[in-house]
């Protein structure tokens, strides 16, 4: 099943919103128009009834109590009945078609409006009571008037207005159903153009970026997509560098083994077998160390290696780590100088912390100039290692942590993975590892506590 298109969703939203607004507006207008028309109709009905009472009063004043039988009634769809005390009842000819028994008793000074159904016809009626002047005693008499009028023409007018109010929104919605999809598709043309430009972008064509669309809504999307492309290119470049470095390291070790075996087979050097096997073992150990470092680095960066935290007496543990590097430092004429007091206890993973510190000390002892002093400063929050680095430049610090990157020619046993392992292990422990280059010395600072 194909997912709904963006144009269809926008069309449905627009049509639904239009239906709600136009339908609600039509209903409100219909109610207001019906209410206003009904008020005008009642005013007109009351005006005619009051005109009838005025005629009756004039007739009484001139001494003619019997008005014309057809006055305002019968011929034009209007009927009336007038009842006054001490006088005969006056009715239109013909009389009102629908009479409610006892209607004079329900008539009061305030006009009362009712609608009467007479078969298929609908009649509007008004009844009210009034005081008529009289020449006899008492000087006024109580009268009640019922006035009816056929409201068929008025109801047809209301029905016509209702149809207009119904058909207008329906016609507008019909036009919207036809026009909105076309308008939406035209409005989404920049999106389709963007999709077409994305078609040729991929790993096979690094460095390509999407141009700005010129649309305010799409430009942030284009910028984010270009950021993703930049990260993808960086990742691909790192992976290519990683693959190249791994192939180089593996090929170098294997080539050394093959060359050693072929040379000894064709041109025996006369060395003892144990010495030759020891050299082969050293090459194999370096290759194994490279593979082991890569496996650990992959587990750390993928999140598969979780810290196993436990209380650690840092002073004694640090002394053991330094002891492992003293012999190598002494062989190169280096001095390991330790200052400061570390925290008594640290809750961390000793194995991962050993990866960080071991690689930092190993790099310092391997790359510091002969006769230099490797300084280790400690306090409650951090551990700092510094050594002379005359060959480094500030731009090189950005490449620290890259796999197989080495500033100097490779030393035995170093494949350029030490700093990458140190960064990955420090990140897994939640510790901050930073490098600075000041006055020709490289300073590595490891925050012992997670921020």
How does pLDDT run across 383-426, given as a tens digit for each residue? 899 999 888 888 878 777 666 666 665 544 455 677 777 888 88
Give pLDDT, residue 416: 64
Range of the structural domain that residue 87 is part of: 6-159
pLDDT one-digit tens code per residue, 214-233:
777 778 888 888 888 888 87
Are 151 and 11 within one domain?
yes
Number of folded domains that form the chain: 3
Which stretch of 196-200, 241-245, 284-288, 437-441 has the lowest confidence by average pLDDT? Answer: 241-245
Question: Six-digit token pair at 371?
Answer: 């006769």
Q: What are the backbone dihedrals phi and psi of residue 422, each rounded to the nearest 5 degrees, phi first?
A: -60, -45
Is 424 part of a structural domain of the chain? yes
Per-residue pLDDT, averaged over 281-306, amounts to 72
315 and 285 part of one domain: no
Whole-number pLDDT of residue 415: 56
Among candidates 437, 435, 433, 436, which has minimal Cα distance to 449?
A: 433
Within this chain, do residues 134 and 51 fall inside the same structural domain, yes or no? yes
For the residues of 157-223, what is the DSSP string, one character each?
Answer: HHHHHHHHHHHHHHHHHHHHHHHHHHHHHHHTHHHHHHHHHHTT-STTSTT--PPP-S-TTTHHHHH
pLDDT in tens, 75-117: 467 888 888 887 888 888 777 876 666 788 888 889 999 888 8
347 and 392 in a single domain? The answer is yes
List pLDDT tens digits, range 32-79. Answer: 998 999 999 999 999 988 888 887 767 666 655 444 444 444 446 788
DSSP code of 395? Answer: G
Residue 181 domain-assigned? no
What confidence score (pLDDT) does residue 40 get?
92
276 plus 324 within the same structural domain: no
225 and 315 co-located in one domain: no
Give me the pLDDT at residue 403, please: 65
Q: CATH number of the domain that 427 lies in? A: 3.30.565.10
**Per-residue pLDDT tens digits for 417-441:** 777 778 888 888 888 889 898 888 9
Q: Is 74 within a domain? A: yes
Looking at residue 39, its pLDDT comes to 92
In a domain, 132, yes or no: yes
Residues 7-19 have pLDDT tens digits of 777 777 877 887 7
Among residues 159, 189, 207, which one ends one of the domains?
159
- Please report the pLDDT score of residue 67 as a whole number: 46
Domain containing residue 229: CATH number: 1.10.287
User: pLDDT tens digits, residue range 254-278?
Assistant: 887 888 888 888 878 778 888 888 8
Residue that terminates a domain, selected from 253, 270, 301: 301
**Is the C-alpha dihedral spanning 313, 315, 319, 321 positive or negative?**
positive
The pLDDT value recorded for residue 386 is 92
Cα within 13 Å of Cα(164), Cβ side: 10
Does a structural domain hold residue 165? no
The pLDDT assigned to 138 comes to 60
Q: In terms of domains, do 230 and 130 share one?
A: no
Q: Are residues 318 and 428 in the same domain?
A: yes
| CB-based burial label for 309 (10 Å; 0-12, 13-18, 19+) | middle
- Predicted pLDDT at 73: 43
Cα-only R_g, the chain = 52
Please check whether residue 332 lies inside any domain of the structure: yes
**CATH code, 15:** 3.30.450
Among 177, 239, 170, residue whose Cα is nearest residue 203: 239
Same domain flag for 155 and 13: yes
Q: Is residue 184 part of a domain?
A: no
Distance in angstroms between the alpha carbons of the first and the last residue of the chain: 50
Residues 6+ apart with CB under 8 A from 205: none
CB 382 within 8 A of CB 404: no
CB environment 273-287: b (16+ within 10 A), e (fewer) = eeeeeeeeeebeebb
Shared domain for 255 and 367, answered yes or no, is no
Same domain, 315 and 269: no
Domain annotation covers residue 153: yes
**DSSP assigned state of 400:** T
Same domain assignment for residues 296 and 419: no
Last residue of a domain, one of 301, 323, 350: 301
Averaged confidence pLDDT in the chain: 79
CB atoms within 10 A of CB 405: 15
């Amino acid at each position: 099943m194909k997912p709904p298109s963006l144009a269809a969703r926008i069309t449905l939203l627009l049509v639904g919103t239009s239906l709600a607004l136009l339908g609600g507006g039509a209903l409100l207008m219909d109610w207001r128009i019906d209410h206003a028309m009904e008020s005008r109709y009642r005013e007109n009905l009351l005006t005619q009834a009051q005109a009838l009472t005025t005629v009756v009063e004039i007739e009484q004043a001139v001494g003619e109590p019997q008005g014309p039988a057809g006055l305002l009634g019968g011929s034009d769809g209007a009927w009336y009945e007038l009842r006054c005390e001490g006088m005969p009842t006056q009715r239109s000819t013909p009389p009102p078609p629908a009479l409610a028994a006892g209607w004079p008793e329900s008539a009061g000074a305030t006009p009362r409006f009712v609608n009467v159904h007479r078969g298929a016809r609908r009649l509007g009626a008004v009844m009210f009571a009034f005081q008529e002047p009289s020449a006899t005693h008492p000087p006024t008499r109580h009268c009640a008037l019922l006035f009816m009028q056929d409201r068929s023409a008025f109801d047809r007018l209301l029905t016509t207005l209702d149809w207009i109010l119904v058909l207008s929104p329906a016609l507008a919605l019909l036009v919207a159903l036809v026009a909105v999809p076309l308008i939406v598709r035209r409005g989404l043309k920049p999106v389709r153009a963007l999709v077409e430009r994305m078609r040729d972008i991929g790993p096979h064509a690094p460095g390509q970026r999407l141009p700005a669309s010129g649309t305010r809504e799409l430009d942030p999307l284009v910028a984010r997509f270009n950021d993703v492309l930049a990260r993808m290119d960086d990742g691909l470049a790192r992976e290519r560098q990683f693959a190249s470095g791994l192939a180089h390291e593996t090929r170098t070790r294997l080539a050394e083994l093959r060359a050693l075996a072929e040379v000894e087979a064709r041109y025996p050097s006369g060395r003892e077998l144990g010495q030759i096997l020891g050299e082969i073992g050293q090459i194999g150990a370096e290759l194994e160390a490279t593979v082991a470092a890569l496996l650990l680095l992959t587990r750390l960066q993928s999140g598969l290696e979780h810290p196993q935290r436990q209380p650690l007496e840092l002073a004694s543990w640090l002394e053991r780590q330094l002891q492992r590097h003293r012999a190598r430092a002494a062989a190169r004429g280096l001095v390991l100088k330790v200052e400061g007091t570390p925290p008594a206890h640290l809750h961390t993973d000793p194995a991962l912390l050993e990866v960080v510190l071991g690689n930092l000390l190993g790099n310092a002892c391997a790359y510091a100039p002969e006769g230099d002093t490797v300084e280790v400063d400690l306090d409650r929050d951090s551990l700092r290692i510094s050594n002379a680095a005359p060959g480094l430049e500030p731009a090189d610090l950005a490449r620290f942590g890259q796999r197989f990157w080495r500033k100097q020619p490779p030393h035995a046993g170093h494949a350029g993975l030490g700093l990458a392992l140190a960064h990955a292990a420090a990140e897994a422990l939640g510790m901050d590892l930073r490098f600075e280059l000041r006055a020709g010395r490289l300073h590595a600072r490891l925050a012992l506590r997670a921020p």
